[in-house]
Amino acid sequence: MAKFRMVDTEFWNDPQVQEQFTPEDKLFYLYLMTNPATKQIGIYIITKKKMAFELGYSIETINALMNRFQSHHQLIDYDEETREILLLRWSETAYRKGGKPVNDLVLSELAHVKRTDWIARIAPLIPIDSVRAVVLNYMKQKNISLSNESYDESCHESYDDTPTRTKKEELRTKKEELEQQQEQQEQEPKEKTVVAADAPGKAFRFYEQNISHLVPHIAERISIMIDESSEELVHEALKRSVEGNARNKMNFADSILKSWSDQRITTLAGVEAADKEFERRKRGNSNGTTSKHHAGSTDEDWDGLSL
């Protein structure tokens, strides 16, 4: 399944890239932004051994490049224990628009981050308000607070080595705005917090954990499925597509949801009732044939009543 990452052409016009990057630096940074392990949030797990294999470098060269990008360029951070890498400037160009598919994808990826303190470091740089709100709400649920490290100006200034006072003031202002947003969220009624905790994400997490990487195209498709039915039914349909070992699991899940819609089934309780009814008819069928609405587990046109 294809996965795409955007690289702004302004990358090549950046003063730091032009004046400070060696040819190896340019290749390495492009690799960090586009390799298959990358995530939408700019935090992902990757080993140095994997980097060396995919780039054709030795481990010693990878170690030298990692140290250079952490200490000299100050563009990444790496946790030797969790094997997670943080691209400090990723958010500046990774988000072109918000919307439910992007928000849900970000939420599903945040749940897998082990270095949760890094989440506070990426939040201030997300330019899309709706996406930033998702991250701040997640931080609130997980008791992750904004820290001064989140606004370390050495990490967030322009690539230019002569930061201006205007840029510093802008960072301080944004920090104050985000702190105000968190204070407002803390003052919200508990009932509203419960709703936020139950926000869509279950179906997306199931897809990523059991089927494949959750790319934006698939996230949007799942979002449409949820809009047309419900989160719980989409999760159940995806679950059955996996248990049924369907060749095309998304199409299989679509056919299940269509069948439930045709039968006016809108809840999991309705699904369970339909399953029981199917089993009752199956047991009562004296000639041993199955219902005309049921097919084998490998038939992707199966209507989804029962596995």
SS3 85: strand
Beta-carbon contacts of residue 30 (< 8 Å; ≥ 6 apart): 7, 11
CA distances from 62 to 20, 65, 99, 119 (A): 18, 5, 37, 25
Cβ neighbours of residue 244 closer than 8 Å, sequence gap 6 or more = 252, 297, 298, 302, 307
Which DSSP state fits 149? G
What does the chain come to in residues? 307
Burial status of residue 136 (CB atoms within 10 A of its CB: 0-12, 13-18, 19 or more): buried
**Counting Cβ atoms within 10 Å, is residue 10 exposed (0-12), middle (13-18) or buried (19+)?**
exposed
Beta strands of the chain (E only): which ranges? 43-45, 76-79, 84-87
Place of tokens 């928000």: 103
Instruction: Kindly give, in sequence order, each residue whose CB lies less than 8 Å from that of residue 172, ignoring residues fewer than 6 positions away.
Output: 151
Give the gyration radius of the chain's Cα atoms: 24
Helix axes 59-67, 48-55, angle to 10 degrees: 110
CB 235 within 8 A of CB 249: no
- Per-residue pLDDT at 159: 39
Instruction: Tell me if 260 sits within 8 A of 212, measured CB to CB.
Output: no
In the chain, domain spans: 9-190, 202-284
**What pLDDT is recorded for position 21?**
95
Q: Give one word for 56, left, alpha or beta, with left for phi > 0 and alpha for psi -120 to 50.
A: left
Report the pLDDT value the prediction gives residue 228, as an integer from 0 to 100. 87
Q: Is the pTM of this model over 0.75?
A: no
Tens place of pLDDT for every residue, the chain, 307 residues? Answer: 346 787 888 889 999 999 999 999 999 999 999 999 999 899 999 999 999 999 999 999 999 999 999 999 999 999 999 999 999 988 777 777 778 888 888 999 999 999 999 999 988 888 888 888 889 989 988 888 875 544 444 344 433 444 444 545 555 666 666 666 666 655 555 443 333 333 457 888 888 889 988 777 788 788 888 888 888 999 999 999 999 888 899 999 999 999 999 898 999 899 999 888 888 888 876 555 544 444 333 444 444 444 3
Which uninterrupted H or E stretch holds 280?
helix 268-284
